[in-house]
Amino acid sequence: MAGFFFLLLMVLFSTQVFAAPVKHKPAQSRAQTQNKEARERMKNRAKLLAKAKKRVAVVPLTPEQRIRQAAEKLASRSWNRQQLAMHARWRPGYFGGSERLLPLATESLMAEMVSPRVEETIYKVIHRLKQQLGKPYVWGGQTPDQGFDCSGLINYAYNQLLSRKLPRTANGMFQDSKLKRVNQQQLQRGDLVFFSIKSQDKADHVGVYLGDGQFIEAPRTGLNIRISQLTDNYWQDHYLGAKRILTEEAIL
């Protein structure tokens, strides 16, 4: 019996001596692993969201949505006019020291009220004009296939939307008593801007004001339809006046 107990003690002693020590992971290492896994999950989620956004189709605005936007712009302009009336002595600063830029700086505040129907027509006209960008100037041209001269471009963009057709020439439009004359500081998108380049007392060039001091034009032979800066010295030196076409009474 004593030999049996002695053998049992020897077995237990050898097991403790030769057994491999158990290593325990420190708590900090486990936390780092969990944080890394969390970051990977967040990264994968961001990738999935990005893919989902790419799959969303960009739907163009419907006419009703554009009219709603126009109404919102109208309300915003009305609020701006109220603010301007409350501060009648306020004057905006100069742009680079040039007083000629001052009228264009306040156009959004001084603009007349525009109905949603007129706003929609302005949108159509400007969209139609911008589709012709890059096409050649052609004297006498008035179609996309031919090319355009300055007044031909105006006729093409406007006449289908007006109850009364415009005169064919730039000076004819400028002299048309039924078109409302507007000051430069009151320019709105869609207004015609006239220039006297080769003659002193009549309009021999016309473009369409786009807002933000820009207008679109068919310039001259050898050049393409383009957007120009009304505030440039050249155009200010030759500026003759402006007329408003798009009113409630004029559009179809």
User: How many degrees, rounded to 5, is the angle at CA 61 between CA 55 and CA 66?
Assistant: 155
DSSP of 73-124 = HHHHHHHHHHHHHHTTT-----BTTBGGGHHHHTHHHHPPP--HHHHHHHHH
Q: Which two three-digit tokens encode residue 115?
A: 């109905």
Active site residue 238: no
- Which amino acid, 174? F
Q: Which two three-digit tokens encode residue 136?
A: 């050649």
How far apart (Å, rounded) are the C-alpha atoms in residues 44 and 42? 5
Catalytic residue chosen out of the listed positions 24, 112, 205, 238:
205
Is 152 strand, coil or helix? helix
Active site residue 205: yes
Catalytic residue chosen out of the listed positions 99, 112, 217, 248:
217
Which residues fall within 8 angstroms of residue 143, CB to CB, at 6 or more apart? 152, 156
Kind plus residue range of the DSSP H or E element containing 194: strand 192-195
Catalytic residue chosen out of the listed positions 112, 150, 238, 248:
150
Active site residue 87: no
Which residues are catalytic, by number?
A: 150, 205, 217
